[in-house]
Amino acid sequence: MNDIICTVDVVLMTLRDSRLHVALLKRDHAPFLGALALPGGYIRAAEDADTQAAAVRMLREKTGIDSPYLEQLATFSGSSRDPRGWSISVAYYALVPAEVIAAGGHPEVELLPVEALKGLPFDHQQIIEAATQRVRNKSSYSSLPVYLCGENFTLPQLQKVYEAILGEPINKVSFRRKLDELDILEAVAGAMETGKAHRPAQLYRLRKCFRQQLSLTGRALNAAG
Amino acid sequence: MNDIICTVDVVLMTLRDSRLHVALLKRDHAPFLGALALPGGYIRAAEDADTQAAAVRMLREKTGIDSPYLEQLATFSGSSRDPRGWSISVAYYALVPAEVIAAGGHPEVELLPVEALKGLPFDHQQIIEAATQRVRNKSSYSSLPVYLCGENFTLPQLQKVYEAILGEPINKVSFRRKLDELDILEAVAGAMETGKAHRPAQLYRLRKCFRQQLSLTGRALNAAG
């Protein structure tokens, strides 16, 4: 065989205070003992059907979360990224609402804004930057940001999530039209957002068939027109 | 360590008769001895700086080609894709003009249309389908298809290459405007396409800074307007 170290790492992201955050954990063993790092670890050939299954297991073990959206990001590799030797990390990313991280029952999970990271071990900084870039690109023409919302949300709330990720205001009329094109939402019968000063707004949720699958638009959601 | 088989595979694609083709080689050892398969093989930790370097080496050894464009596609893995055991294949794809494959000096390389493949070993069919999908998606908003052209080409030739990949006719005026946006081409001074019945056309080439780097447009090249 060979002596290559085979691991997976998961970039678990959420939105807090309208900024993308990533979930990090203090490492409990060498190398980089005590440093904040991505949840990850060795692939177990006897246990994991493939790298996706390994990522699902890692996320469950280390954060208590089963993310409905978990996608392969890219593979990072080489002789210099891990002091233990030549290694491969198949990196995945996941998006969940912040409440899901709190409910995961792992209070040791720390959320840090993706823009304020430094001194991370291995090439985790580079992996997180690649994931952030992927989320921003993909959000502009897909339903991806919906995974950052809770189960039910109003259209203005959803628009705010898109705006937070894309980093710019979006025209409301054009946003609503593109949402219609995506055809991913259904009104929650009889459910309105309450307890706010303004007029109650209809609550929506993802249609069942899209809960684990993206819908794509032909044109960017933040494009003019 | 572990007993995971670590390999790279390269989907080397070109355009022939206006159809995307993939380069395959008869396997010279078990498993699947004699079957046509993607050029690929074991990562050598002592020799390859990372998986990209392993893919470059594989392409050079098996096809004699140094492709200016070589991008990571995705990683395929699991217990069932290789009869030898749990394996990882980090897959790459490369695009070159058909002349480059002929000039590689490996006459054993066979070119097959991506649409007419069957009975490939491992999950190579799935890897090639993913690469084809990626090339089609990426071509609609980038300079990627230029890597399928020879060093010098006319604008009508380039348009035909885009049309072949995207599988639909493109409006000439809108195509030219988006090429201007991409700003990747330079006229080859004094060079005109000759020997044709019609009026000679200016030859163009990729500007040097784009020979190993894509340029992206904000809107699809085959979009209206």
Q: What is the CATH number of the domain that holds A157?
A: 1.10.10.10
Shared-domain flag, residues A28 and A105: yes
Give domain status of residue B25, yes or no.
yes
The pLDDT, as a whole number, for residue A225 is 47
Amino acid at B80: S
Residues 103-122 of chain A whose Cβ lies under 8 A from any Cβ of chain B:
none
The A residues from 68 to 97 touching B (CB cutoff 8 Å) are 72, 74-75, 77-79, 85-86, 88, 90
Instruction: For Cα atoms A96, A101, A105, give the angle at the middle one, nearest 5 degrees.
Output: 145
Q: Pick out chain B residues at pLDDT < 70.
A: 1-2, 195-197, 212, 217-225
Residue A85 maps to a domain: yes
How big is the CA angle at A181 (ends A178 and A185), to the nearest 5 degrees?
A: 95
Quick one: which of A19, A142, A145, A22 has its CA closest to A91? A22
For residue A215, being part of any structural domain is answered with no
Closest CA–CA distance from residue B56 to any residue of chain A (Å): 14
pLDDT in tens, B68-112: 899 999 999 999 999 999 999 999 999 999 999 999 999 999 999
Say if residues B101 and B21 touch (Cβ distance below 8 Å).
Answer: no
B146 in the same domain as B133:
no
Residues A147 and A129 occupy one common structural domain: no
Say how far apart CA A128 and CA A91 lie, in whole Å.
9
Query: Are residues B50 and B148 located together in one domain of the fold?
Result: no
Residue B218 in domain: no
CATH code of residue A98? 3.90.79.10
Residues B118, B181 within the same domain: no
A42, A5 Cβ separation under 8 angstroms: yes
Give the H or E element holding residue B186: strand B185-192
Q: CA–CA separation, A38 vs A122, rounded Å?
A: 10
Q: Are A219 and B218 a contacting pair at CB < 8 A? A: no
A41–chain B Cβ distance below 8 A for any pair: no
Could you tell me if the ipTM is greater than 0.85? yes
Calculate how close chain A gets to B23, using CA atoms only, in Å.
23
For residue B141, the model assigns a pLDDT of: 83
Phi, psi of B26 (to 5 degrees): -70, 130
Q: How far, in Å, CA of A82 to CA of A123, rounded? A: 8
Q: Is B224 domain-assigned? A: no
Pick from A1, A74, A85: which is nearest to B72 by CB? Answer: A74
Tens of pLDDT along A158-192? 999 999 999 999 999 999 998 888 888 999 988 77
Q: For residues B122 and B16, give the distance between their C-alpha atoms in angstroms, rounded to a whole number.
A: 26
Residue A75 is nearest to which of B2, B5, B51, comparing CB atoms?
A: B51
Q: How many CB pairs under 8 A join A and B?
A: 75
In a domain, B180, yes or no: yes
What's the confidence (pLDDT) of residue B3? 87
d(CA A6, CA B6): 9
How close B220 gets to chain A, by Cα (Å)? 8
Beta pairing class for B5-16 and A202-206: unpaired
pTM comes to 0.92
Q: CA gyration radius for chain A?
A: 19
Q: Which of A104, A138, A172 is at the close of a domain?
A: A138
Domain boundary among B97, B123, B138: B138
Note the helical H segments in chain B.
51-63, 98-103, 124-139, 155-166, 172-182
B40 and B147 part of one domain: no
Kindly give the pairing relationship between strand B87-95 and strand B5-16: parallel
How much is the pLDDT for A6?
A: 97
Residues of chain A with pLDDT under 50: 1, 225
Tell whether B5 lies on the interface with A, counting CB pairs under 8 A.
yes
Domain match, A181 and A87 both: no
Question: Residue A84: inside a domain, yes or no?
Answer: yes
Q: How many domains does chain B have?
A: 2
- B81 and B169 housed in the same domain: no
Using the Cβ of A6 and the Cβ atoms of chain B, whether some distance falls under 8 Å is answered with: yes
Enclosing domain of residue A9: 5-138
- DSSP, residue by residue, A172-222: HHHHHHHHHHHT-EEEEEEEE--SSSS---EEEEE-GGGTTS--B-SS-TT
Are residues B79 and A45 in contact, defined by beta-carbon separation less than 8 angstroms? yes
From the list A43, A52, A220, which residue is nearest B4 (CB)? A43
- Residue numbers in B near A42 (CB within 8 A): 2
Residue B175 to residue A89: CA distance in whole angstroms: 40
Cβ–Cβ under 8 Å, residues B88 and B122: no
* Residue-level pLDDT at A20: 96
B103 and B55: one domain? yes
* DSSP symbol at B223: S
Note whether B219 contacts A: Cβ–Cβ < 8 A: yes
Do the beta carbons of residue B101 and residue B111 sit within 8 Å? yes
Taking CA–CA distances from A72, the nearest residue in chain B reads: B74
Q: Which pair of tokens denotes residue A4?
A: 């290559």
Is-contact A101 A19, C-beta < 8 A?
A: no
Final residue before a domain boundary, out of B122, B138, B154: B138
Q: What is the pLDDT of residue B224?
A: 54
Q: Where are the beta strands (DSSP E) in A27-95?
A: 36-37, 40-42, 70-78, 87-95
- For B51, the closest of A3, A77, A85 (CB atoms) is A77
Q: How high is the pLDDT of residue A1? A: 45
Same domain, B61 and B122: yes
CA distances to A221, B120, B137 from A225, rounded to whole Å, are 9, 46, 22
Question: In angstroms, what CA-CA distances link A120 with A26, A85, B145, B165?
Answer: 11, 18, 37, 41
- The two structure tokens encoding residue A40: 């990850």
* Domain assignment present for B219: no
Asked if B133 and B169 sit in the same domain, the reply is no
Residue of B74, B117, B65 lying closest to B93 (CA atoms): B74
CA distance A79 to chain B (A): 6
At A179, the amino acid letter reads L
Q: Are residues A156 and A126 in the same domain?
A: no
